[in-house]
Chains A and B, each alone.
Chain A
Amino acid sequence: MRLFVWVSVITLCGAGCATTNRIAIGPKAQSALGSAQPVVGLDQQEIAADINRSNISAATGGGLIFALVDAAVDSAQAKKAEAAVTPVRDALLDYNFGARFSGDLADTLRDIPWLKGQKVVVQSPASPDLVKEWVDRSPADGLLLLRTRYRFSPDFKAITILVDATLLARSAALAQAAATKRDGVPATFANSFGVVLPLPDAGKLGRDQAAAKWAEGHGAAARAALDLGAREMAAMIAFDLEQPQDDPSLTKSAATVTAPMVMRGELVGAARIKAMVVRTGEGRSWVRAVTGELWSVPAT
């Protein structure tokens, strides 16, 4: 199957931060898990823009002057990107992505027994120093933390939604079954998810024209894309929470795809990665990277 995929991958976060490797809920953790509180950690108040970073200093072998040139170019690009995104932000002033996403999560997580009946909470800011406090305050055995970001691609031809999910243990029994630690708390599940939402009929539109197209009609295209993205993201998370460590879907099919690399929410380059098609339908495919991350991308 030929896939042209706009996949972003969260990598290279370093020890102690979100990792690319998926950790499934093991049988020991499953038996210790009576309930969990889902929390959406969302730092953004509005959709973010992105830029392709200047690379002059790398091309010229480095040096302070070229680094300063890079900084100046990046700053000019960032200012233009911020100006371009403003009409879309204005059009989406009454659109609450956090509420939409938490509503979709409430629907999709309903079928998971240990998440049944738990209200999805949106928290901001969501820094690690606050996470420990939330876990301690949680009335459940664990806290399902979903750190969420959403932004335009540098050319404004796509919106990408990214979520780092971790199931953090509060109860001693669950903590004992934890395979790793996140934010200093024992974690029994960890994975990263992405949804890529291209602008319909973007063709050869320039950045400002693409931004204008997202914004027109009270942000109709952006609202539709974010609604779809929130739904897809919620469905993928619910699906992945119940998959074993050795996901049988991994063996279904494989394709090599082009993947822009994202580090801490910023685009840092592109790479060819191998990914497996997990599910296809309604014009979209779910693909899993060999390191376990799950992506929803347009099927072509």
Chain B
Amino acid sequence: MRVGPLPLALAVLGALGCASHTEPIVLQYPVPPARAQPSPQPVQTIGYTIVDARDGSARALGSLERKRFEAGQLSGWVAGALQAEVPAGIRFEAIAPGTAWPGWHVTLCMRKAYILGLADTKSANVVLEAEFWQGRKRVRTAIRRGRSASINWTGSDAEAESALNSALARCVGALMADLQQTIAAGASGLMSRAERLRG
């Protein structure tokens, strides 16, 4: 059986009284550099609402080695990703739940967000459920998972945050594609209806 220096050190630490502990972390999605050129397209404003609906304790974020992570509400973290990953031609505006919004808007529901260790690898998962609305009509729902798996070097807070940010970026990226498709389909649907009326 192979025992590397790091597992051996951890085993010794464990034997000295279970060095496991809980680490509160504040997740922040990195702000991307400003776009060099503003989008030439007209900007469409999309409203959004974020709901944190994770199972069980809403604070647990999983564990790496013997360190367990927890964080409070993750709505701000998701909002940061939404603003950072916004497609060209779209601007997001936060709206309070239940607020009437005349145009396109999206409700994002946080289903899962966690990190876990497997051998020398850390794996982060983020699952968001999205409802795309046009006014009072729900046009589409989608559930997307973002994953990130990479070598676990030190199990630090920064590593955990980086892995969770990567998973969130993939999840939000997939939802942005869904949003653009939904809006495009909605627009073409409106056009074909107008064409039918004209015909």
State in angstroms the CA–CA spacing of A96 and B37 once bound together. 47
| B contact residues, total (Cβ < 8 Å) | 43
| In the complex, residue of chain A having the shortest beta-carbon distance to the beta carbon of B12 | A14
* B-chain residues with CB within 8 Å of residue A46 when the two chains form the complex: 112, 114, 125
* A-chain residues with CB within 8 Å of residue B69 when the two chains form the complex: 125
Whether A74 contacts B120 in the complex (CB less than 8 A), given A43-B62, A58-B1, comes out as yes
Q: Interface digits, B1-40 against A, CB 8 Å rule (1 contact, 0 not)?
A: 1101100000100111110111000000000000000000
Binds B, one of A168-176, A200-208, A248-256, A263-271: A263-271
Binds B, one of A78-86, A106-114, A217-225, A232-240: A78-86
Please name the 7 residue pairs, one residue from A and one from B, whose CB atoms are nearest each other, closest first: A14-B15, A78-B121, A125-B68, A74-B119, A124-B60, A16-B17, A58-B2
Q: Is A77 at the interface (CB under 8 A from chain B)? A: yes
- Beyond the given A45-B54, A53-B119, A82-B149, could you list 12 further A-B residue pairs with CB under 8 A, ordered by the A residue number? A14-B15, A16-B14, A43-B68, A44-B116, A45-B125, A49-B118, A57-B4, A70-B4, A75-B120, A90-B145, A96-B56, A127-B20
Query: Is B55 touching A45 in the complex (CB atoms < 8 A)?
Result: yes
State in angstroms the CA–CA spacing of A267 and B75 once bound together. 36
Q: Is B127 at the interface (CB under 8 A from chain A)? A: yes
Q: Interface digits, A156-174 against B, CB 8 Å rule (1 contact, 0 not)?
A: 0000000000000000000
Query: Is B60 touching A55 in the complex (CB atoms < 8 A)?
Result: no
Q: Interface digits, A46-76 against B, CB 8 Å rule (1 contact, 0 not)?
A: 1011110111111000100001001100110
State in angstroms the CA–CA spacing of A137 and B1 once bound together. 42
Query: Is A82 touching B118 in the complex (CB atoms < 8 A)?
Result: yes
* B-chain residues with CB within 8 Å of residue A125 when the two chains form the complex: 22, 57, 59-60, 63, 68-70
* A-chain residues with CB within 8 Å of residue B15 when the two chains form the complex: 14-17
* B-chain residues with CB within 8 Å of residue A93 when the two chains form the complex: 111-112, 127, 143
Once A and B bind, how many residue pairs between them come within 8 Å at the CB atom?
136
State in angstroms the CA–CA spacing of A90 and B16 once bound together. 39
Q: Is B151 at the interface (CB under 8 A from chain A)? A: yes
Whether A82 contacts B14 in the complex (CB less than 8 A), given A45-B54, A50-B118, A124-B57, comes out as no
Query: Is A43 touching B63 in the complex (CB atoms < 8 A)?
Result: yes
Q: Is A122 at the interface (CB under 8 A from chain B)? A: yes
Say which residue of B18, B119, B123, B150 sits within 8 Å of A16 (CB atoms): B18
* A-chain residues with CB within 8 Å of residue B105 when the two chains form the complex: none
Q: How large is the interface on A (under 10, 10 to 19, 20 to 34, 35 or more residues)?
A: 35 or more
Seen from chain B, the residues whose Cβ lies within 8 Å of a Cβ on chain A are: 1-2, 4-5, 11, 14-18, 20-22, 54-57, 59-60, 62-63, 66, 68-70, 111-114, 116, 118-121, 123, 125, 127, 143, 145, 147, 149-151
State in angstroms the CA–CA spacing of A62 and B2 once bound together. 8
Query: Is A79 touching B14 in the complex (CB atoms < 8 A)?
Result: no
Report the minimum CB–CB distance from A136 to chain B (whole Å): 16
Seen from chain A, the residues whose Cβ lies within 8 Å of a Cβ on chain B are: 13-17, 42-46, 48-51, 53-58, 62, 67, 70-71, 74-75, 77-79, 81-83, 86, 89-90, 93, 96, 98-99, 122-130, 183-184, 264, 266, 268-269
Query: Is B20 touching A128 in the complex (CB atoms < 8 A)?
Result: yes
State in angstroms the CA–CA spacing of A184 and B20 once bound together. 12
* A-chain residues with CB within 8 Å of residue B4 when the two chains form the complex: 57, 67, 70-71
Report the minimum CB–CB distance from A88 to chain B (whole Å): 12
Report the minimum CB–CB distance from B37 to chain A (whole Å): 37
Query: Is A98 touching B116 in the complex (CB atoms < 8 A)?
Result: no
Query: Is B68 touching A127 in the complex (CB atoms < 8 A)?
Result: yes
21 A-B pairs, CB-CB below 8 angstroms? Answer: A14-B15, A16-B14, A16-B17, A44-B114, A45-B60, A45-B113, A58-B2, A67-B2, A71-B120, A82-B147, A86-B147, A98-B56, A123-B57, A124-B57, A125-B57, A125-B60, A125-B63, A127-B21, A128-B18, A128-B21, A184-B17
